[in-house]
Amino acid sequence: MSNDKPNTAAPALAPNFLRNIIEADLAAGAHVRPGLPQVITRFPPEPNGYLHVGHAKSICVNFGLARDYAGQCNLRFDDTNPAKEEQEYVDTIMDSVKWLGFDWEPKHADGQSHLHYASDYFDQLYAMAEYLITAGFAYVDSQSAEDMAANRGNFGQAGKNSPFRDRPRDESLALFRAMKAGQFKDGEHILRAKMSEDAMSSPNMNLRDPAIYRIRHAHHHRTGDAWCIYPMYDYTHPISDALENITHSICTLEFQDHRPFYDWLLETLSAGGFFAKPVPHQYEFSRLNLTYIVTSKRKLRQLVEEKIVDGWDDPRMPTLVGMRRRGYTPEAIQLMCERTGVTKSDGWIDYSVLEGCLREDLDPKAPRSVAVLRPLKLIIDNFPEGESVECTAPVHPHFPECGLRTFPISRELWIEEDDFMEVPNKGYFRLYPPIDDKPGSRVRLRYGYVIECTGYDKDENGKVIAVHCTYFPDSKSGTEGSANYKVKGNMHWVSAPTAIPAEVRLYDRLFTDPQPDAGGKDFKLALNPLAKEVVQAWLEPGAELAQPEERFQFERHGYFAADRVDSQPGKPVFNRIVTLKDSWQPAK
Ligand code: ATP
Ligand code: MG
């Protein structure tokens, strides 16, 4: 295809509150630092699962802002929980970010890689924790987990100070060092921050002496067995941001109540000489909630482990690997993220918005082709046996420069089962046989001839197995004679002797309920039994050459992609990306 298609990946910049903040900061020179861009963001996934469309939103926001303001976006693995993290997840996350169209490789003169791991900072994180202890801002708590939970209080009810809260700093330091040296079991001690004397009665539960280091005798996917204490997310994240000179630390709204700790920690550490001002600032936006999917990692894992879907990359999954396999384009996902904007109010985006973006992106890009998905034999009784006539059709109706495709028409064709009715409904303009003294219907075989239905054959079970017709040799599309025929029906077809057999997987939404897990509902009760249907189809000759991930519009049906795993040259397998029109009906 030619390259001059509209570039939907770079839509015009719509204002939003984050852009306003960044533009104000740029105008004020808030982050002018030698050798550094003025906008540095980061995408901080935990390598404990596959990325989903919600993460795509965060990726598009963070990498997108960096792109739009000539900044930089770091990919940072937030790998502080050794028990759940694996290299496999690191690899797939990197693949998915690249596939979405973003890159953390250096484009600036500094030549530094913008790929980071929180685990690279373990030494610094540890040193800062020792500092906090010696400065009186942290202590080792030796309460049991139960006591700690009980003394934390509740929403609306103040907590109680730990009996270890005022233990001498030296004692805490010695204990912390012993924790690091492996002298205790998991859970025996924990390092907690002390933001203020009365922090345990803070109305914000997150500020009640939050844990900052815990003992975990676990193998880490990068640091191996070097550590048996690991920093907590709320402690690691602000420090990682500051070490990477992040300017705008953008996250989802649930972290709003964590921001006071974020600010306190960086303020305290910069007063201690660890960081220069200005330190990073956190900004929250509302997460992407798409209807008809679930995005909880636990629920997605359940779908995979209980074999409700065929793996993380099942084309029904809202994971990025699943969407990719289905044939979704990164440009459409980017467009959806841009179009749904960035706000601070929670809401739901209907899945049809994403489908609309797919159609919009694919329409100009996808070459046209023909597929008969539920084949029924059509026999043109007056067409000479063994002969064929060449037909032509545009590769793309809006771009003549893409040229023409050719395919033969012959006596026996495949048509769609539902393009024939024994007894037509009112307003049915496709094939139906003569009834009483009325002749059978006339329709145009797209790019071919006008035909008139003359009859049909049934098998012993009463199933229609072939439709008969005659054709009008002077009616061929593109010839003068064609103008003499006015017909209402227009059908696609493929010539039986040259049609390419293919498995086509018709995917639909995974759930029938727009909010399958809202309010604690059992999301598995809302599974859509029609989310995957496999048909043996007949395709236009040439489709057997499709490369994995090559996308087509199958006329009248929708957009389809050659499956990137199962499709092979000569033995194509196609996935339905999206239908041509929004025809989704909620389950009755
Ligand atoms: P976990 O419960 O394991 O932390 P998570 O979905 O938050 O799950 P992370 O790997 O921590 O997974 O997420 C990386 C980033 O993606 C975070 O900054 C998070 O806020 C963001 N993110 C996750 N889900 C969404 C969503 N639906 N919309 C926007 N951003 C999201
Ligand atoms: Mg998270």
Best probe residue, ligand 1, of 62, 252, 297 (max atoms within 8 Å of C-beta): 252
Amino acid (1-letter code) at residue 458: K
For residues 499 and 491, what is the distance between their CA atoms, to the nearest angstrom? 16
Residues (pLDDT < 50) of the chain are: 1-11, 587-588
Tokens of 170: 């030296």
480 CB contacts (<8 Å, ≥6 apart)? Answer: none
Q: How far apart are CA 211 and CA 190, in angstroms?
A: 7
CA distance 246 to 118: 14
pLDDT at site 110: 62
- Alpha carbon separation from 481 to 449, 475, 485 (Å, rounded): 10, 5, 8
Question: Largest Cα–Cα distance in the chain?
Answer: 105
Distances (CA, A) of 99 to 40, 41, 116, 427: 21, 19, 19, 46
User: Which residue minimizes the CA distance to atom 13 of ligand 1?
Assistant: 45
Which strand (E) or helix (H) includes residue 356? helix 351-365
Q: How far apart are CA 16 and CA 321, in angstroms?
A: 29
Nearest ligand 1 atom to alpha carbon 296 = 6
> What secondary structure letter does DSSP report for 151?
H
Q: Which ligand is nearest to the CA of 84?
A: 1
* Per-residue CA distances from 49 to 132, 258, 334 (Å): 33, 23, 21
CA distance 58 to 144: 37
Ligand 1 site, CB within 6 A: 44-46, 48, 54-55, 57-58, 251-252, 287-288, 295, 297
CA nearest to 13, candidates 330, 289, 342, 246: 342
Torsion of CA 229, 234, 236, 237, to 10 degrees: 160
| Residues 503, 571: Cα–Cα separation, whole Å | 9
* Residues near 199 by beta carbon (within 8 Å), at least 6 away in sequence: 207, 208, 209
Q: Are the CB atoms for 337 and 288 separated by under 8 Å? A: yes
Q: Which of 153, 236, 222 is nearest to 191 (CA)?
A: 236
List beta partners, residue 552. 560
HSE (side-chain half, CA atoms, 13 Å) at 143: 21
Residue-wise DSSP of 175-186: HHHHHHTT-S-T
Predicted pLDDT at 84: 81
Report d(CA 138, CA 129) in Å as an integer: 8
Instruction: Specify the pLDDT at position 570.
Output: 92
Distance in angstroms (rounded) separating the CA atoms of residues 294 and 548: 28
Spatial neighbors of 337 by CB under 8 A, at least 6 apart, are 56, 57, 60, 61, 64, 288
Specify whether 287 is catalytic: yes
Contact 459, 465 (CB under 8 A): yes
Residue 96 makes CB contacts below 8 A (sequence gap 6+) with 50, 51, 55, 320, 321, 324
What is the model's pLDDT at position 2?
39
Catalytic residue (one of 5, 19, 152, 297): 297
Q: What distance in angstroms lies between residue 54's CA and the mean position of ligand 1's atoms? A: 7
Quick one: DSSP state of residue 187?
Answer: T
Q: Which two tokens stand for residue 70?
A: 């000539």
3-state secondary structure of 524: helix
In the reported structure, the alpha carbon of residue 90 is separated from the centroid of ligand 1 by a whole-number distance in angstroms of: 15
Tens of pLDDT, residue by residue over 214-260, are 999 999 999 999 999 999 999 999 999 999 999 999 999 999 999 99
Q: What integer pLDDT is reported at residue 105 of this predicted model?
A: 79
Nearest in space to 537 (alpha carbons), one of 581, 494, 490? 494
Which of the listed residues 42, 46, 48, 55 should we mutate to test ligand 1's pocket, taking the one with most ligand atoms within 8 A of CB?
55
500-507/281-285 β-pairing: unpaired
Beta bridge partner(s), residue 562: 574
How many CB atoms neighbour CB 233 within 10 A?
17
332 closest CA partner among 100, 79, 69:
100
Cα–ligand 2 centroid distance for 45 (angstroms): 7
* C-alpha to C-alpha distances, 278 to 62, 108, 323, nearest whole angstrom: 20, 22, 40
Element holding 371 (H helix, E strand): strand 371-372
Contact call for residues 371 and 540 (beta carbons, < 8 A): yes
DSSP state of 398: T
Residue-level pLDDT at 83: 83
> Which atom of ligand 1 is least distant from the CA of 47?
10
CA distance 515 to 292: 6
Answer yes or no: are the C-beta atoms of 542 and 405 closer than 8 Å. Answer: yes
Catalytic: which of 5, 46, 160, 417? 46
Q: How far apart are CA 177 and CA 459, in angstroms?
A: 83
The backbone torsions φ and ψ at residue 160, rounded to the nearest 5 degrees and listed phi first, read -115, 145
In the reported structure, the alpha carbon of residue 96 is separated from the centroid of ligand 1 by a whole-number distance in angstroms of: 14
Q: Which of 53, 58, 79, 93 to mutate to test the pocket of ligand 1 (most atoms within 8 A of CB)?
A: 58
Q: What is the 3-state secondary structure (H, E, C) of 418-470?
A: HHECCCCCCCCCCECCCECCECCCEEEECCCCEEEEEEEEECCCCCEEEEEEE
Nearest-angstrom CA–CA distance, 266 and 264: 6
Helix (H, G, I), strand (E, B) or coil at 192: strand
Q: The tokens 């984050």 sit on which residue?
A: 18
Backbone Cα Rg of the chain: 31
Neighbours of 78 (CB within 10 A): 21
Task: Give the Cβ contact number of residue 264 at 10 Å.
Answer: 18
Cβ 313 vs Cβ 321: under 8 Å: yes
Sign, CA torsion 425/428/431/437: positive
